[in-house]
Amino acid sequence: MTNPQFAGHPFGTTVTAETLRNTFAPLTQWEDKYRQLIMLGKQLPALPDELKAQAKEIAGCENRVWLGYTVAENGKMHFFGDSEGRIVRGLLAVLFDCR
């Protein structure tokens, strides 16, 4: 699998688990939480078609969703993905921030 270029996205650097907690904790309305997920999804870089072809498309989802991974020389795994759905993209962004 081609090693994707992930430079330029904020997840794990400026968007951290702590910033996510601080952002979502005061939100009490589901509409506000969805809006925030959509905003996070907009920060997730679009997956190039080449990587979509290599990634696994998840069957059964209402929107198209692709997930894939690479393994670095040190054995560390890096997951990547994309979705046509705005909320699912936001959920992927939250998931990719987890370490």
Active-site amino acid positions: 61
Q: Which helix (H) or strand (E) holds 54?
A: helix 49-54
Three-class secondary structure of residue 63 per DSSP = coil
| Residues whose CB falls within 8 Å of the CB of residue 15, separated by 6 or more in sequence, listed in order | 40, 43, 93, 97
